[in-house]
Structure 1
Amino acid sequence: MPLRHALDHHARQRPDALAVAISDTRLTYSALYDRLKRLHAALAALPLQTRPDLLLPEGARNFALSIGNHAQAPTLLATALATPHAVTLLDPHWPDALHQRVLAKLPPDALFCLSSQTGLIEAAKRLGIPAITVDTNAFETFLTAPEDIPFTDPRAIFMVGFTSGTTSEPKAFARARHSWRASLEASRLAFALTEQSHTFVPGPLSHGITLYALAETLELGAAFHALPKFDLAEAHRAMAHTRRIVAVPSLLGALCRDKPLEQIVEITTAGAKLDPALLEKARSFFPRARIHEYYGASELGFVSLNTHGRESSSAPAYSVGRPFPHVELSLRQNGQEVPQGEPGTIFVRGDLAIDGYLWGGRNSGFRREGPWATVGDVGKLNNDGSLSLLGREGGMVITAGHNVYPQEIETALAEIPGITGAAVLGVAHQSRGQELVAILNGDTPLDEIKSQLAIRLPRYKLPRHFYRLTDWPLTTSGKPDRGRLMSWLHKKDPRLVPAAA
């Protein structure tokens, strides 16, 4: 069902039910839907920018958003989800120069930002783009009398997102409404969601996993809880009113503090592999929760799912699960499927993927082969039908003539008791071409690590050097920042401590 219809239904049938809460700011479904109608009318009155790369329905506008988790963010994001208008999701942590390049490439009809973002405001002014600051009275002044929200074309674009992948310049992609409508239908069943699935999301609203959780929650008629910025005490207060958490693994681990929480019954996590130590920690801290760990990509949507119960999982814990509903998998090399157990590029076929990039990604990232789509991740299908990740095309390490995927070694390291984090990198070596280096978090003795790896991996896949690290650099999406780790290795940064035997 289109989200516009769902919100209209909730506003009529349960007008006083809580829709969104960010700290002290709370909106009922009636209040939220009224603000959507006012914002829709104000956007529709804006003059159109010249924008050949993004075609929108007649009367629709594209607005850029760079306000983090400000209290107005859910209203603006819900406007893109439920009205004909589209949103360009800018990362507030980007440098001014990158913001300026993106605005120039795809000029929005309006920019919503914070008054402190002076560089962004000046860039918009030079391009003739109206900038509305949401932390002043400018936002309330911008709103007009409410107008009914028209039908939203399922083929139309509702979001422009960005993914950096393996490059520093973000690649832009557009997502059509029909792909998320299909996703919502599939995830409602896969994650066992109901109108009582009140959801807490500790992460940034500009990230896909968080925005999708907002769409899921509002479609159900449940309450969506978020924070202006992460704070453990505030997070626990929010979780007291929810039954579900959606978070990347790093933030899920940060929530596992103090005493166990019995009221959480569903957890959804993605963005990085859930290592065994964190899985057990989450099971202990949320004893009644099922943990839905999915693998996917911004460009592909859902790919596979592994649901962890109290004592068992729907697929082996080392895997990323089995194909998500609506999705078919094919592991391919040179256009042909590879045998089971052999490494291949992961392709998906379904109705959840984008059509392509607006810009960037010519030599990396998303591509299609007929009806099949990939972002270049490499994996293998196990004997039980589950999928294991091995790395990414171009991320393979060639050492002494052997092809090695770092993800396979990281998975083996994560299975060793006491290891709570691991990254494996390939660095240049004069005679081997490349050699493997492991960076670890945990207090397991080095001799024990080496002996455990020797049981799990052939000799040529064993790292030559080991370093310990306690404070990991993370990307804005909560993943280990491999680029910075590689830089630290080259510079012999003292934060990387050689592991002693």
Structure 2
Amino acid sequence: MPLRHAIEHHARQCPDALAVCISGTSLSYGALFERLKRLHNALTALPHRRHADLSLPSDARLFAVAIGNQPAAATLLPAALATPHAVMLLDPQWPAALHQRMLAKLPPDVVFCLSSQTALIEAAERLSIPAITVDTDAFETFLTTPIDLPLTNPRDTFMVGFTSGTTSQPKAFARARHSWRASLDASRLAFALTEQSNTFAPGPLAHGISLYALAETLELGATFHAITRFDLADAHRAMATTRRIVAVPSLLAALCHGTPQDQIIEITTAGAKLDPALLAKARDFFPRARIHEYYGASELGFVSLNTHGRSSSSAPANSVGRPFPHVELSIRENGAEVAQGQAGTIFVRGDLAIEGYLWGGRNSGFRREGPWATVGDLGKLNYDGSLTLLGREGGMVITAGHNVYPQEIETALGEIPGITSALVLGRTHHSRGQELVAILLGDTPLEEIRSQLAIRLPRYKLPRRFFRLTDWPLTSSGKPDRGTLLNWLDEKDARLVPLHPAT
């Protein structure tokens, strides 16, 4: 069912039911639907800019949102899901200069921002773009009398998102409504969702995993909870009335403190591989929960899924699971499929992928080969049907003439008791071309690490240098920041403690 119909249905059947709550600011389904009709009328009244690269009806507008998890997001983000208008998701953590470049590249019809974002407001004014501050009376004043919501076209754009991938310059992509409609059908089944799946997403709503969780929850008629900024006490208050959590692994780890939460029965996580220590910790802290760990990409949607029960998993723990419903996988090299068990580039076929980037896609990993699409991730399909992720094209390390995928070593490190998380990087070496460097969280002695790796990996895949640190530097999406770690290695930063053999 299109989200516009789902929200209207819930508004008519249970108008007082709680739809969205952000740090105590709540909207019922009846109030949400009424605000969507008011916002739709206000947006339609704005002067129309031509957006040649987007598929938008004549009465639709492109509105930019840079407010993070401010309570007005409870109205603005569902508007992109349930009205003909499209949202341009600007990360509030971006520097001012980057916000300005994005507005200049794709000027929206209006920008919703915070009064403290003065550089963004000034940039919008220079481009003659109205800037509405949502933390003042301006937002409520902007909303006008409600009008009926029109039907939406599945082929129209509803979101312009950004992904940096392996570069620091964001790449823009447009996503059509039909791709998320197909995704919602698939994830409802895969994640065992019902109208009782009240969901807490502690991460930024500007990121796909949280925004998608909002769409899932509203379609079901359940309640979506978020918090304006991460605070453990606020998070536990939000979790108290929910049955499901959606979070990247770093935030899932942050939640696992205090009293175990036995009311949580479903957890969805993505963005990085769950290491064995965190999986064990989550199983203990959420004793009744199934943990759905999926692998995907902003450009591709869902790719594969591994569901972890109390004591077993639906696929080998060191894999990223089996193909997601409605998705076919193919491991290909030079346009041809490789044999099962051999390494190659992971391609997907289904209804969930984008068509391409609006800009910034040159030399990127995303490309299409007929009906198949890839972001350049490397992997292999195992004989049990599961998928093993090996790294990304361009991320392969060539050391002493051998091709090595860091992900394989990181998986082996994660299986060693005492290591809670690991990253492997390739650095230039005068004689080997590149050398493998492992950075770890955990207290396992170096001799034990080396002896355990020697059992699991051939000699040429063993890192030559090991470092320990206490916390990962993170990107804005909550993933370990490999670029920062490489800089720390070059600068001999004291946060990286070299491991030496015991004397």
Bucket of the pairwise TM-score, normalised by the shorter protein: over 0.9
Distance 1:55 1:196 in 2: 35
Q: Residues 112-131 of structure 1, C-alpha deviation per residue, up to 9 Å, x if partnerless?
A: 00000000000000000000
* Kept in 2: contact 1:426–1:435 (CA 8 A): yes
The residue aligned with 2:199 is 199
* Kept in 1: contact 2:55–2:155 (CA 8 A): no
Give yes or no for the alignment of 1:311 onto 2:296. no
Alignment of 1:232-381 (within 5 A): 232-381=232-381
Alignment of 1:52-67 (within 5 A): 52-67=52-67
- Post-superposition shift, 1:259? 1.5
Distance 2:157 2:124 in 1: 22
The residue aligned with 2:221 is 221
- Post-superposition shift, 1:498? 0.3
Q: Secondary structure at the match of 1:217?
A: helix
Alignment of 1:32-431 (within 5 A): 32-431=32-431
Distance 2:500 2:31 in 1: 60
Distance 2:41 2:19 in 1: 21
Q: Secondary structure at the match of 2:407?
A: helix
The residue aligned with 1:461 is 461
Q: Residues 146-192 of structure 1, C-alpha deviation per residue, up to 9 Å, x if partnerless?
A: 01000000000000000000111100000000000000000000000
- Post-superposition shift, 1:364? 1.2
Give yes or no for the alignment of 1:440 onto 2:407. no
* Kept in 2: contact 1:304–1:324 (CA 8 A): yes
Q: Residues 16-60 of structure 1, C-alpha deviation per residue, up to 9 Å, x if partnerless?
A: 100011122011000000000000110001001233222311200
Q: Residues 270-307 of structure 1, C-alpha deviation per residue, up to 9 Å, x if partnerless?
A: 00000000000000000000000000000000000000
- 1:11 maps to amino acid: A
- Runs of 4+ aligned structure 1 residues displaced above 6 Å come to none
- Post-superposition shift, 1:260? 1.0
* Kept in 2: contact 1:50–1:107 (CA 8 A): no
* Kept in 2: contact 1:377–1:392 (CA 8 A): yes
Distance 1:63 1:260 in 2: 41
* Deviating more after overlay: 92-101 vs 81-90: 92-101
TM-score by structure 2 length?
Answer: 0.99
Distance 1:494 1:342 in 2: 40
- 1:271 maps to amino acid: G
The residue aligned with 1:499 is 499
- 1:302 maps to amino acid: F
- Post-superposition shift, 1:74? 2.0
CA-atom RMSD in angstroms: 0.6
Distance 2:341 2:486 in 1: 30
- 2:279 maps to amino acid: L
Distance 2:339 2:135 in 1: 56
Query: What is the identity percentage for the equivalent residue pairs of Structure 1 and Structure 2?
Result: 80
- 1:79 maps to amino acid: A
* Kept in 1: contact 2:365–2:393 (CA 8 A): no
Distance 1:371 1:50 in 2: 30
- Post-superposition shift, 1:97? 1.1
Distance 2:224 2:24 in 1: 13
* Kept in 2: contact 1:410–1:423 (CA 8 A): yes
* Kept in 1: contact 2:27–2:74 (CA 8 A): no
- 2:62 maps to amino acid: N
Q: Secondary structure at the match of 2:268?
A: strand
Any stretches of 5+ residues in structure 1 without a counterpart?
none
Give yes or no for the alignment of 1:30 onto 2:33. no
- Post-superposition shift, 1:95? 1.0
Distance 2:289 2:275 in 1: 17
- 1:346 maps to amino acid: I
Distance 1:273 1:471 in 2: 17
TM-score by structure 1 length?
Answer: 0.99
Distance 2:335 2:466 in 1: 37
* Deviating more after overlay: 53-62 vs 258-267: 53-62
Report how many aligned residue pairs link the two structures: 501
Q: Residues 191-238 of structure 1, C-alpha deviation per residue, up to 9 Å, x if partnerless?
A: 000000000010000000000000000000000000000000111111
Distance 1:63 1:420 in 2: 42
- Post-superposition shift, 1:486? 0.5
* Kept in 2: contact 1:53–1:106 (CA 8 A): no
- Post-superposition shift, 1:382? 1.2
Distance 2:489 2:379 in 1: 27
- 1:87 maps to amino acid: V
* Kept in 2: contact 1:158–1:177 (CA 8 A): yes
Distance 2:396 2:500 in 1: 27
Distance 2:79 2:368 in 1: 31
